[in-house]
Structure 1
Amino acid sequence: MMEGITIIVLEEILMANGLTVLMMWFLLFCRRKNRESLHVGDKIYDGIAIVNLVGALSETIAFLVDGKQFTGSRQINYISNSICFIGTVSMGMLWCMYVELRIYRNYKRMVQKAGVEIFPWLVEVIMVLCNLFGTGIMFKISGENVYQRTAGALVGYISLVIYFAYSIYLVYHSKKQGVNLNFFPVIYFVGPCFAGVVIQFLFYGITSSWVLVAVALIFVQMQSYAESLYMDELSGLYNRRYFNAVLAEKKIASQKSLYGIMMDVNDFKCINDNLGHSTGDKAICTLGNILIRSIPDDGMAIRYAGDEFIVLLSGVDTERVLATMEEINHNLSRFNESGIEPFHLSVSMGYTEFGTEDDAETFLMHMDEKMYEEKRKYHMRKKSAGLENKV
């Protein structure tokens, strides 16, 4: 058996979880209303908020039916508590995915890491599903419909601690790499959540975890406004300010090799002129998503200005740079073949290495020269084919 001190005050549970539902609904409403575009990171953050909302509702139902005898009450008790267990560990996993994506802005890296991050979640889900068959691995429901935690419930708490610790590691490791510039608010989330988990573990009946997660999510949202200083909202990528800051950090640290790929969207003016500026904005957003999915796990995508983008690759060789450029072109071709938008996208790309004596201006100048060489070749090909001014 695994029971802490039992303190059940139904009024406190209803108030805390009701406040959680209200905060999560308001947070989701405000986020949907105020953002220009929806990126993968936004979906994950919203997913955490939705899981928290569902968890608070499920826990409330569990406490309301606990000890009550009516048709289906025992099944409701099992299902609602099972949702709470799965929801708790799901938030931990989603949080790690969110941290990974927000720091590195790299979809491919996030997917690769998710293969490992999902393991504690799978263990918890399998145990909960087994528990539904009356094994009592996680918790038991007595004949009087009374809930009681068992030793297996500890697995969920351990999984959460692992997730929290891993997210902290991600942040501080990225600082050493010069990727994260001290703005990601990991402690704002982990601190309140960890406090809620400890209280819930020690004092059964005090519903603190869901409401503290809600508070933590609002903390992260408030702090993320500071992050907007380094973000381009439309593309979902880092911006020019972040690019300059990263180069300054790299210069000071004199770390491993750094390559830059500069690209310019071909015929972007034609998209704006022929299809409208809102479609042009959609093209920028689409390219941002394509870059996030194209770059390797040691890459970083940046919207530098207008329709100019930069990909930074750290600790790679020329072969890896060329492979990345090929991957970008491949994914652009797949998008164009899909026909899901009224425009086609292609880019002219040039790359260079950040030299030991280079500064940001020199690095940019070399990238720019290489990119415009390709741009001139692109226009010459169009001119010879008689395709000027076509989107």
Structure 2
Amino acid sequence: MNIPEILVANGTGAVLVSFLLLLRVRGESKNSVGTALFCRILVVTLLAQATETISFLLDGVPGAASRFWLYLTNTVCTGATVCVDYAWCLYVDFRVYRSIGRLRRRHMLLGAPLLALLVLLVANLFGTGWIFSISADNAYHRGPLNILLYLLLFSYYAESVWQVHKARRDGITVEFFPVYYFVVTCAVGTLLQGAFYGMAFGWLSVAIAFVFVDSQTRSLRGYTDELSGLFGRKYMNYCLDRIHATQEKDVYGIMMDVNCFKEINDTYGHAEGDRAIQEIGRILSGALAANSVAIRMSGDEFMVLIRHGSEKLLDEICTAIERRVQHYNETAPAGSFQLSFSTGVAKYEGGSVEKFLVELDQRMYAEKRAFHAARDGHAAPEQGNAPSI
């Protein structure tokens, strides 16, 4: 076992991961789900690097204390390995779809095999030797079910690639999401680690992969809105350009304008106005369905774009938004601001996307006029096709 190589490899990996963690903590919104998830992945990676290094240093060292720490560190490191790849799948899913609701639905499905492996690891602590064993001379040996670890890792790699491939096929994500940067780099490191025990390829490859991912995701910032956590107008233009180029069918839009947003800023202050935008981001993210994205177009204007949709799906998303707005208003602290939207919905019928946007805009502002007329006690003008939410 090459201890100097292990110390250099895992030490280098730890420095890279710590640097990325510092950049994320200091440089990005603390309210971003994607940032929070990525930071947790980095923390678990640091834990795994530390426990793997300790396990290598103690391998073959006699004594009951060494045996105890060998079991503990190898168990933690093995569990952390799968947790990182599980969390990577969730991170990819969120970065692609920007939907908290979808994330909640998928984490149980993706977490089921992880939970099964963790149960095996706990059983392994009682001497079953299923995943690994520690011999009488305190040497680590892989168990008969250790292959399940590698199968699960590569299943998570494949799942993340499939999600991005499916999203690209459906036109949901931008073209250069860095899933292959992570998967290929980590897969090579995993195979080398499996083939040459005693060499620390695995976590160094993970650290390098995260550097690649961070570099590429920073280039995507122009497509996202940091305050709301949603996609931004540039991403909307990207999607609409593709829709126009392919004359895609079954595309629906929901355009929303926050009612009385200026009053929120004037009454509660701009800090609360920012919090309102963040709450709206969470509301819309939680209401999304498959093949839909939420976009902050400008200050208090938002859009949900549904591709490969239907009237039924459109109604379901509108209802989900309405329910989440109602839930927020009912549970908000006393004296806090209340939220509502004026909305316009339309279907893209081919041709110019500008016509599609104008139709959405006109219907939304018809609802806006109706909202203010009703609030001011005047007769409401003829409304558009969707009530204020």
Q: Could you say which TM-score interval applies, normalised by the shorter chain? A: over 0.9
For 2:78, give the aligned amino acid: F
179, 186, 202: which one pairs with 1:186? 179
- Quote the residue 1:4 is aligned against: none
Q: Deviations over 1:294-326 (max 9, x none)?
A: 111221100011110000112232232122112
| Cross-structure match for 1:305 | 298
Contact 2:170–2:291 at 8 Å: present in 1 too?
Answer: no
Q: Distance in 1 between the 2:19 and 2:27 partners? A: 12
The residue aligned with 1:154 is: 147
The answer to which of 88-97 and 13-22 deviates more is 13-22
Bigger shift: residues 15-24 or 302-311: 15-24
* 1:353 matches 2:347: yes
Q: How far apart are residue 344 of structure 1 and its match?
A: 1.9
8 Å CA contact 2:249, 2:348 repeated in 1 = no
The 8 Å contact of residues 37 and 233 in structure 1, kept in 2 or not, is answered as no
Q: Give distance in 2, aligned partners of 1:317 and 1:141.
A: 58
Are 2:129 and 1:136 aligned? yes
Where does the alignment leave 5 or more consecutive residues of structure 2 unmatched? 379-389
Partner of 1:378: 371
On the 8 A contact 1:108/1:297 being kept in 2, the answer is no
Q: Please state how far the C-alpha of 1:71 moved relative to its aligned partner.
A: 4.3
Between the aligned partners of 1:131 and 1:255, the Cα distance in structure 2 is 53
* 1:353 shift after superposition: 0.4
Spell out the pairing of 1:274-285 with structure 2 (5 A cutoff). Answer: 274-285=267-278
Which residue is equivalent to 2:42?
A: 49
Partner of 2:382: none
User: In the alignment, is the contact (CA less than 8 A) between 2:82 and 2:153 conserved in 1?
Assistant: yes
Select 1:226's aligned residue among 219, 231, 236. Answer: 219
- Contact 2:292-2:304 within 8 A present in 1 as well: yes
- Of 21-30 and 210-219, the range deviating more from structure 2: 21-30
Q: Does 1:362 align with 2:355?
A: yes
Q: Percent identity?
A: 37
Cα deviation for residue 376 of structure 1 reads: 1.4
Structure 2 counterpart of 1:305, which letter?
S
Matches for 1:6-21 after TM superposition, within 5 Å: 8-21=1-14
Letter in 2 for 1:21: A
Name 2:263's counterpart in structure 1: 270
Q: Which runs of 4+ in 1 moved over 4 A?
A: none
State the Cα deviation string for residues 4-25 of structure 1 (Å, max 9, x = none): xxxx111221222222222222
1:323 alignment partner, SS class: helix
Distance in 2 separating the partners of 1:146 and 1:111: 41
The answer to whether the aligner puts 1:342 opposite 2:324 as a matched pair is: no
**1:389 corresponds to:** none
Q: State which of 219, 235, 243 in structure 2 corresponds to 1:242.
A: 235
Which residue does the alignment assign to 1:78? Answer: 71
Q: Give the Cα–Cα distance (whole angstroms) in 2 for the partners of residues 333 and 68 of structure 1.
A: 62
Is 1:165 the equivalent of 2:165?
no
Q: Which amino acid aligns with 2:20?
A: L
Counterpart secondary structure, 1:54: helix
The amino acid across from 1:156 in the alignment is L
- Structure 1 distance, partners of 2:128, 2:148, is 15
CA distance in 2, matches of 1:294, 1:174: 18
Cα deviation 1:63-104 (Å, max 9, x = unaligned): 122222344321211111011111111111111111111011
**Mapping 1:198-217, distance limit 5 Å:** 198-217=191-210
| Cα shift at 1:37 | 4.0
* Alignment partners' CA distance in 1, 2:368 and 2:312: 22
* Per-residue deviation, residues 265-311 of structure 1 (Å, max 9, x unmatched): 11111111222222212211221111111111221100011110000
Gaps in structure 1 of 5+ consecutive residues? 1-7, 386-391
For 2:158, the aligned partner's letter is A
Summarize deviations over 1:339-362 as a string: whole Å, max 9, x none.
Answer: 2593222111110001123x2211
> Aligned partners of 2:353, 2:63: CA distance in 1, in Å?
71
User: Which residue number corresponds to residue 39 of structure 1?
Assistant: 32
Partner SS state of residue 384, structure 1 = coil
| Deviations, residues 119-170 of structure 1 (Å, cap 9, x unaligned) | 3312321221121111110111112221111231111111111111121111
What is residue 315 of structure 2 aligned with on the other side? 322
**Matched residue of 1:238: which SS?**
coil
Bigger shift: residues 249-258 or 120-129:
249-258
- CA deviations on 1:189-238 (whole Å, 9 max, x unpaired) are 11211111011000001111111111111111111121112111111111
Q: CA separation in 2, counterparts of 1:370 and 1:16?
A: 59
What CA distance in whole angstroms lies between the structure 2 residues aligned with 1:286 and 1:20? Answer: 37
Aligned to 1:254: 247
Distance 1:144 1:342 in 2: 65
TM-score, length of structure 2 as denominator length: 0.93
How far did residue 378 of structure 1 move? 1.5
Contact 2:89 2:160 in 1 (8 A): yes
